[in-house]
Structure 1
């Protein structure tokens, strides 16, 4: 008897083929990329631009923020000693004994004719243990002898000095032997002498490096002030990555449209692959691997282009940010994350078309029939849930909670994007009401819903961002024009002696400096035809240490104590965010407000219109146990106007010293931007600063620029999308041409496609921006009544009109003959 073993029947598509099959599919995907990279050039270019912009942006963000190293060097504690003579030597010796290694830097103030800010004469060792990073020699050498000095470029320009010249200052002749700078603060104006040659110093800085526990366990000399180096979180890089994520979301939406078109164009080849035994997983792998290759090539090329741009731009950035930049000081982890995000974006964009193509039956794929559109209600349900959740998160954020704000913005944007298929389906239903050419165009959009929805979502995202900026700017402009609230009335400005108003040290002026500052203020008042110029005075503790190189002291303020614990010790800290500036209640100021000085009780310490000052303390200083006696009066509620006054009784009882802080100038009418610019230039020449109510002009210009950019981006998306649609429907266009359709019909098809997508994207984006801002301003929705008519008209009317006109003008080319069919 013979036995014949029959082979089992071959079932196509039932197995997975193992690693060999996956390698073959990946190789085919790589060949597909090499053959058709020109058709995928759009996605490659978008990924390259996104990653390049992110890489360069990360470099700018990581090197733009100011650094505490400009005053601390490599130390973490800065001790200011204001004693003099033998007591100063004893205090410095005590600090050296307590901490071992300590760097002493002496400071002496040199008055500048015509300026309220003196030049800092600094006695510092260029090779000190902590401060060497704060000095850089640009020319010559460091000073060594008693009559040698090095200066910065700013000081050399002020006093007309040059290398090898002589500086006659205060009857003392010094030879300029070097040009120096603080590489961590290029705007730092100072003159450098050898250690111990700034005698007598106005104050002395001692740099110390110690842990919090070590520092807390030491006894410090009396009368010193201590600054502790704080943490400097890299929030700017996080912000750049967030913007990059939004940009990559936009790129991903366009990539979905591109991969969908590619999948439809290669549908027959994918069907043949399934016919010879490839599983659904293999077919998905073809497109996903192709997406991974495109993402990797685009991301790596973008990173290289971004690094090249960063290296080219960084020298220019140094002058903009005011400190030297290390070209290789980049957040490399964030750059890697940006590259990985780009690759993941391309893979995710390819996955959805790959999933749809893998589900197409083999016979339908071989016939290249379009995939029937899926019901839009599923996307609408998920989009509605995300939209409601995002708006609720924005409401719960109360404009103060970052996590709720980020989550709300992302969820709102995703919700609106998922509603795009519903809009495309609605266009298909409206097609029956349109003439022939627009009817065909709208039905074609609905038939290829996956591709059209992705493009519509990208347009809505670009338009929504532009509309949100325009609406937000309109709200800011309206708030600036409001008669109440804000920092100052629209017809007033304050000329401050300090750069940071009353949030920084107030310099002590010599009589000549005070006269020059008042001359500048009078010039500003004359230009504004001012009706009044009111001197403002702050109060300082004469025993408090001087701050920085300005020779100034911190003004007294009211602050809310926040309990903290450091190394097991209970303490308090004060934040400038909730500080209340104090002005001395001079007779001129009281008369300006119409208050009779005799109406203030003799024992009153503070005159105010606020009712929440019971929990506030007087700082800086040692006055935590002082409980002031308050008297309420009808004072203005503007944040920068004198609304909380320190009486003469309080100044005398606390042994404080009134000093000039600024001048309040009142004009007969609201200030224009040109008047503000002239006032700022005049004040800057004397080292003064000007504070005014924001006019909103800059925000309005920003809104116009962003609106124009959003419209340009939307038009670019439309051009890409319409090009993809027309290339995919080339056979239908040939059929129409053979049936006698004229050039006008072909033009109307393209124009209707572009105009419909533009109009629907503008409506969805603007509606989303309004919903998001309504949730943001839910407590004061009346501000949204100030509509930026021109910007919204450009979006809702201009964008569709330009899209329709562009589609009409650029279309109408004669189609190839029917005999010239493209090969798959």
Structure 2
């Protein structure tokens, strides 16, 4: 009972002390609440954004009981898993005939008696928009039926009723510039529909589609195609059926098995939520169906890591606050000793402060985390592209997070409590701090830990062991933490020749390492994690960009005729493009060449266009050594850098040239002039331009050249009605081979998408080749927007719809960009918070020094500038150390990726092993320059420049 009485008194003293020093208490509460807030928000967001099985089923079938679909094998037995993801045919089943010999399946005949169903079928379509026309998808589904709720929800307006009405997704309306009440016309049958409402698919917020009642689109479209041969009939996708079982009985597993006998696949809500035992699943009897790996262990590891970081930051940030509080209350603690209190009771008073403020911070953090998640829920859903089902609050998890905040508040007060308990009553009453020498062992241990940690992390990266990478990175970071007091002490020596305020800030940081070093460590911990993930993410993005097979060169778009008969539409298409796109002035008209006579299509199976072939010489430098015999052995001897260099050589780059959008044939020969070099190839070489003007082809891939010449092989075909071609090439198909002198471009231009050689028109005429216009390439100031593309598409449709706009699809980096932004903001907030609390503690801890400054006549602005520089010292030091510490795990993880890439390359020599390590300079610059300066300015702005002189105590 005496123990409880002592703690009750200690808690009462701590509560009163917290209320008395409201500013310092608020700082401690904030530092405890911020990490708790972050972990709480992350927990609620993660739990809420992970759809349950029931929510996934609702996203697929609304409130229906099942989705029935044909497998395409006809009315033949099949077997499926309960989740309908995997299916197959039984080993002892009948042989499946060819596709054109299969009878269609009567899917509704497989429904249980008394069932009610809806049909769903989609068709690709071109519709008018505010800006022009757009490609989209029209789905025939009775959206007004209650069975669709949850899969598709009405946001505004009303559901469609009748043949002339549709609803549209919000994403479509935004990109098309339309709204509820707008009208859109389906190109082809030229049927106009009124948009009566906007809808969203909770699981696919970015889906762009129109929805109409069954029979409102496909039937009139087919009828129009039957009346008018110019109307192209629709090509709808497979139909599915949303089924509700009889009298709410649902669709059972026996119902599913009966449907399987007719070749029908069924996703049943009842079966998916309550699967049958494996013994009742026929597919498992003879198929090895493995489920996807459980990622719960990885999620748990990530959760533990996040919580550990939060605990570390709380202890590092709140610890100095309790230390300063203990020093500010040392007279009160001394009075406890004079009244008979022992050292344990003095420690209890300080620990009670941690308990009181930890409890307040934990509760505040959990409440604020939940509130912020609710407030920013729409924004988070927009980032993820799907709606939350219900906000998922796990009481035990939230209680655990609060307890962690409470416990770490107590841990943060532990070291100050021990120090306060060791002080004598005389020191406490007189206010003398005494003198302590810095530990000489700790920095040595820190340096050893740093070296060992880096070595272990790098070894783990090269060995492919992520556990060693994680362990080594943690040891290295702890090593840096151990060295921080020495680094902070060294800072005091740097200000010898600096002005008064920065010199005092550096010396104050060095003299009061007890509060400066933990704050620097907290900033370092936050920045290290951010820089590690940002470095890894930026490196992966660079790898994806390198592996991305471009269809056009950067900053260009192309107009291409879809077939030779559409060439006469190019003139109108060019006018439309130049009017609607952000063309910067660069333009090049290109043509194609062929050896045949009557080439009416670009892709003629029977070589009606003839063939053109650039013959690649044999020998080293012409044939890619990573193909054919000996390629695997060569790959095993190459490093990643050597492999990258070899893959960048003209001989190997040529293997991927077919991905180009300017596909004029297997030879990749384009008829053009010097404007093509400047606008598309980006080759600013007067000699190359002069060569084209003189009739000399420009070869972009030197692997095809030998002694400055190329071999062009042509197989000429002709049509009996083509008298001109008959005169040039009489008789049957004729093969000609010409040696052409060429201008060979530098090797880096061998990767130009779609072009291997530029052939002047005069040379094509001299060789007796047929040529025709193919398209136009433009340089643009920015990629075309949705509105610009729709406007151009409308003009192309009016011209005859035979020309299309080719735009480079960039590497998708939206998710990575959002991650980097969030990480930078998180690290910035922690850095500002740590710098702010350190500045506040410095002010509270150095009131006597500031009073002395004012007494000796220091200008009022010194106090303000001193606060600002104190903040900059903490923020900048922590950011620089954190950047260095964060690079270690990122580099080690990239070494793991490199090992995997090298193994893949040795199995498939043409696979890229390029695994770059790219530093996120924008994120580092934001943290190293903007955040410290902002922290210093804010500290200076909120610091008072006037100080009232107080009577000297004692």
* In structure 2, C-alpha distance between the alignment counterparts of 1:314 and 1:459, rounded to whole Å: 28
Assess if the C-alpha contact under 8 Å between 2:322 and 2:413 holds in 1. yes
Q: Give the secondary structure class of the aligned counterpart of 2:141.
A: strand
Assess if the C-alpha contact under 8 Å between 1:386 and 1:411 holds in 2. yes
Residue 272 of structure 1: how far off its partner (Å): 2.9
* In structure 2, C-alpha distance between the alignment counterparts of 1:421 and 1:52, rounded to whole Å: 29
- Residue 286 and residue 87 in structure 1: after superposition, are their counterparts in 2 closer, same or farther (change >3 A)? farther
Matches within 5 A, 1:493-504: none
* In structure 2, C-alpha distance between the alignment counterparts of 1:698 and 1:528, rounded to whole Å: 34
Assess if the C-alpha contact under 8 Å between 2:317 and 2:519 holds in 1. yes
Residue 25 of structure 1: how far off its partner (Å): 1.8
Matches within 5 A, 1:520-539: none
Does structure 1 residue 122 correspond to structure 2 residue 141?
yes
Which one of the candidate residues 96, 117, 123 is aligned to 1:109?
A: 123
- Residue 316 and residue 734 in structure 1: after superposition, are their counterparts in 2 closer, same or farther (change >3 A)? closer
* In structure 1, C-alpha distance between the alignment counterparts of 2:813 and 2:201, rounded to whole Å: 36
- Residue 151 and residue 269 in structure 1: after superposition, are their counterparts in 2 closer, same or farther (change >3 A)? same
Residue 585 of structure 1: how far off its partner (Å): 11
Does structure 1 residue 90 correspond to structure 2 residue 110?
no
Which one of the candidate residues 135, 140, 152 is aligned to 2:152?
A: 135
Residue 584 of structure 1: how far off its partner (Å): 13
Assess if the C-alpha contact under 8 Å between 1:722 and 1:753 holds in 2. yes
Which one of the candidate residues 667, 677, 683 is aligned to 2:783?
A: 677
For structure 2, list consecutive stretches of 5 or more residues without a partner in the other structure: 76-101, 128-132, 223-235, 244-249, 273-290, 593-602, 617-625, 633-649, 666-678, 684-751, 753-777, 794-803, 900-913
Cα-to-partner distance string for 1:335-368 (whole Å, 9 max, x where unaligned): 4444344333322222222222223333433333
Report the counterpart of residue 491 of structure 1 in structure 2: 553
* In structure 1, C-alpha distance between the alignment counterparts of 2:588 and 2:935, rounded to whole Å: 54
Assess if the C-alpha contact under 8 Å between 1:33 and 1:290 holds in 2. yes
- Residue 321 and residue 462 in structure 1: after superposition, are their counterparts in 2 closer, same or farther (change >3 A)? closer
* In structure 1, C-alpha distance between the alignment counterparts of 2:888 and 2:442, rounded to whole Å: 19
> Normalising by structure 2, what TM-score?
0.55
> Normalising by structure 1, what TM-score?
0.63
* In structure 1, C-alpha distance between the alignment counterparts of 2:182 and 2:875, rounded to whole Å: 68
Report the counterpart of residue 514 of structure 2 in structure 1: 450
Residue 370 of structure 1: how far off its partner (Å): 2.1
* In structure 2, C-alpha distance between the alignment counterparts of 1:721 and 1:669, rounded to whole Å: 54
Residue 303 of structure 1: how far off its partner (Å): 3.1
* In structure 2, C-alpha distance between the alignment counterparts of 1:326 and 1:477, rounded to whole Å: 31
* In structure 2, C-alpha distance between the alignment counterparts of 1:266 and 1:189, rounded to whole Å: 67
Does structure 1 residue 729 correspond to structure 2 residue 846?
yes
Q: How many residues align structurally?
A: 692
Does structure 1 residue 667 correspond to structure 2 residue 699?
no
Which one of the candidate residues 311, 319, 326 is aligned to 1:256?
A: 319
Report the counterpart of residue 201 of structure 2 in structure 1: 182
Report the counterpart of residue 21 of structure 2 in structure 1: 36
Residue 38 of structure 1: how far off its partner (Å): 2.9
Assess if the C-alpha contact under 8 Å between 1:43 and 1:251 holds in 2. no
Q: Give the secondary structure class of the aligned counterpart of 2:431.
A: coil
- Residue 611 and residue 293 in structure 1: after superposition, are their counterparts in 2 closer, same or farther (change >3 A)? farther
* In structure 2, C-alpha distance between the alignment counterparts of 1:213 and 1:404, rounded to whole Å: 51
Matches within 5 A, 1:321-400: 322-325=385-388, 328-330=391-393, 334-370=397-433, 372-373=435-436, 375-377=438-440, 379-380=442-443, 383-384=446-447, 387-388=450-451, 390-391=453-454, 392-393=456-457, 396-397=460-461
- Residue 413 and residue 533 in structure 1: after superposition, are their counterparts in 2 closer, same or farther (change >3 A)? farther
Assess if the C-alpha contact under 8 Å between 1:250 and 1:461 holds in 2. yes
Does structure 1 residue 294 correspond to structure 2 residue 357?
yes
Assess if the C-alpha contact under 8 Å between 1:182 and 1:188 holds in 2. no
* In structure 2, C-alpha distance between the alignment counterparts of 1:588 and 1:63, rounded to whole Å: 60
Which one of the candidate residues 429, 448, 460 is aligned to 2:524?
A: 460
Assess if the C-alpha contact under 8 Å between 1:268 and 1:366 holds in 2. yes
* In structure 2, C-alpha distance between the alignment counterparts of 1:269 and 1:122, rounded to whole Å: 76
Residue 413 of structure 1: how far off its partner (Å): 3.6
- Residue 734 and residue 709 in structure 1: after superposition, are their counterparts in 2 closer, same or farther (change >3 A)? same
* In structure 2, C-alpha distance between the alignment counterparts of 1:418 and 1:589, rounded to whole Å: 75
Does structure 1 residue 417 correspond to structure 2 residue 493?
no
Report the counterpart of residue 545 of structure 1 in structure 2: none
Residue 260 of structure 1: how far off its partner (Å): 1.0
Alpha-carbon RMSD across the aligned residues, in angstroms, is: 6.5
* In structure 2, C-alpha distance between the alignment counterparts of 1:173 and 1:795, rounded to whole Å: 54
Report the counterpart of residue 878 of structure 2 in structure 1: 761
Assess if the C-alpha contact under 8 Å between 2:453 and 2:473 holds in 1. yes
Assess if the C-alpha contact under 8 Å between 1:109 and 1:119 holds in 2. yes
Residue 454 of structure 1: how far off its partner (Å): 0.9
* In structure 2, C-alpha distance between the alignment counterparts of 1:239 and 1:410, rounded to whole Å: 14
* In structure 1, C-alpha distance between the alignment counterparts of 2:364 and 2:432, rounded to whole Å: 36
Q: Give the secondary structure class of the aligned counterpart of 2:28.
A: helix
- Residue 327 and residue 18 in structure 1: after superposition, are their counterparts in 2 closer, same or farther (change >3 A)? same
* In structure 2, C-alpha distance between the alignment counterparts of 1:51 and 1:802, rounded to whole Å: 25
Which one of the candidate residues 10, 13, 19 is aligned to 2:4?
A: 19
* In structure 2, C-alpha distance between the alignment counterparts of 1:806 and 1:156, rounded to whole Å: 43
- Residue 743 and residue 152 in structure 1: after superposition, are their counterparts in 2 closer, same or farther (change >3 A)? closer
Matches within 5 A, 1:193-342: 193=213, 202-206=237-241, 219-222=260-263, 246=309, 249-315=312-378, 322-325=385-388, 328-330=391-393, 334-342=397-405
Does structure 1 residue 45 correspond to structure 2 residue 30?
yes
* In structure 2, C-alpha distance between the alignment counterparts of 1:784 and 1:108, rounded to whole Å: 43
- Residue 373 and residue 610 in structure 1: after superposition, are their counterparts in 2 closer, same or farther (change >3 A)? farther
Residue 637 of structure 1: how far off its partner (Å): 8.2
Cα-to-partner distance string for 1:725-746 (whole Å, 9 max, x where unaligned): 2432333454566678787997
- Residue 401 and residue 82 in structure 1: after superposition, are their counterparts in 2 closer, same or farther (change >3 A)? farther
- Residue 140 and residue 342 in structure 1: after superposition, are their counterparts in 2 closer, same or farther (change >3 A)? same
Report the counterpart of residue 151 of structure 1 in structure 2: 167
Assess if the C-alpha contact under 8 Å between 1:609 and 1:637 holds in 2. no
* In structure 2, C-alpha distance between the alignment counterparts of 1:80 and 1:330, rounded to whole Å: 40
- Residue 752 and residue 90 in structure 1: after superposition, are their counterparts in 2 closer, same or farther (change >3 A)? closer
- Between structure 1 and structure 2, the one with the greater Rg is 2
Q: Give the secondary structure class of the aligned counterpart of 2:23.
A: coil
Report the counterpart of residue 95 of structure 2 in structure 1: none
Q: Give the secondary structure class of the aligned counterpart of 2:150.
A: helix
- Residue 246 and residue 744 in structure 1: after superposition, are their counterparts in 2 closer, same or farther (change >3 A)? same
Assess if the C-alpha contact under 8 Å between 2:868 and 2:936 holds in 1. yes
* In structure 2, C-alpha distance between the alignment counterparts of 1:519 and 1:691, rounded to whole Å: 18
Q: Give the secondary structure class of the aligned counterpart of 1:293.
A: helix
- Residue 352 and residue 337 in structure 1: after superposition, are their counterparts in 2 closer, same or farther (change >3 A)? same
- Residue 192 and residue 460 in structure 1: after superposition, are their counterparts in 2 closer, same or farther (change >3 A)? same
Q: Give the secondary structure class of the aligned counterpart of 1:255.
A: helix
* In structure 2, C-alpha distance between the alignment counterparts of 1:323 and 1:803, rounded to whole Å: 36
Report the counterpart of residue 539 of structure 1 in structure 2: none
Residue 760 of structure 1: how far off its partner (Å): 4.0
Which stretch shifts more, 784-793 or 310-319? Answer: 784-793
- Residue 83 and residue 296 in structure 1: after superposition, are their counterparts in 2 closer, same or farther (change >3 A)? same
Which stretch shifts more, 524-533 or 446-455? Answer: 524-533
Which stretch shifts more, 444-453 or 242-251? Answer: 242-251
Matches within 5 A, 1:552-563: none
For structure 1, list consecutive stretches of 5 or more residues without a partner in the other structure: 1-15, 497-508, 536-582, 597-607, 615-632, 649-665
Which stretch shifts more, 430-439 or 713-722? Answer: 430-439
Cα-to-partner distance string for 1:63-87 (whole Å, 9 max, x where unaligned): 5678854335577987444589995
Assess if the C-alpha contact under 8 Å between 1:284 and 1:358 holds in 2. yes
- Residue 612 and residue 809 in structure 1: after superposition, are their counterparts in 2 closer, same or farther (change >3 A)? farther
